[in-house]
Structure 1
Amino acid sequence: MEEAKGVVKHILLAKFKDETTPEKIEQLIKGYANLVNIIPPMKAFHWGKDVSIENLHQGFTHVFESTFESIEGVAEYISHPAHVEFADLFLASLDKVIVFDYKPTVVRF
């Protein structure tokens, strides 16, 4: 196994507040996705809704994954004014959140 050089994945699991409308969620997702165009170390963004049949989601409904060039890139992202402004809006709409950063490991057989 080898660790991907420099790359860091930033995972955010979200449960939106009950009063957050689908339209508001869509608007927030578009705003989140747009950060990849504004913050240089953010290299990719993916998101999705829970579709698991195991029912182990603990109320979390959405996952957001961002890819960064390095741990330093994550730090730059977190302090970037565009992220700070967006995070204030985004977090205000959430009931629960988990954030996890990791360096992917590639398994070779």
Structure 2
Amino acid sequence: MAVKHVLLARFNDEVSPEAVDDLIKGYANLVSLVPSMKAFHWGRDVSIENLHQGFTHVFESTFDDAEGIAEYIAHPSHVEFANRFLPALEKVIVIDYVPTAVN
């Protein structure tokens, strides 16, 4: 069963929009570098409810299972990317979940 890996982020104010774009491209490129990462989607907060608690970006990756996430976390391409990405963030939350359909 697929597992979703969701990362909510707020970039540091001093990170330029161009640098943010480059980081997002690097994140998206991990799909081609990490075999266990099956899909990647991202977006900016557009909610009118103002409940985002300062988070501005959502990143969602799909894996076949929890072992795939463990492989992703340890993969050298992810480690290298995380060393550039995480220092650019002011806030971050990561949640992994198994989607459940409602019948």
With normalisation by structure 1, the TM-score equals: 0.93
Runs of 4+ residues deviating >3 angstroms: none
Residue of structure 2 in register with 1:89 after alignment:
84
Q: 2:96 aligns with which of 90, 96, 101?
A: 101
The separation in 2 between residues aligned to 1:21 and 1:55, in whole angstroms, is: 24
Q: CA deviation at 1:107?
A: 1.2
Q: What aligned pairs does 1:1-109 form with structure 2 within 5 A after superposition?
A: 6-108=1-103
**RMSD across aligned positions (CA):** 0.5
- Can you give the 5+ residue segments of structure 2 that lack an aligned partner in the other structure? none
For the residues of structure 2 that align with 1:21 and 1:53, how far apart are their CA atoms? 25
Deviation by residue 1:22-54 (Cα, 9 ceiling, x = unmatched)? 000000000000000011110000000000000
Report the number of matched residues. Answer: 103
Q: Distance in 2 between matches of 1:74 and 1:106?
A: 21
For 2:50 and 2:14, locate their aligned partners in 1 and report how far apart those are by CA, in whole Å. Answer: 22
Q: Over alpha carbons, which structure has the higher Rg?
A: 1
List alignment gaps of at least 5 residues for structure 1.
1-5
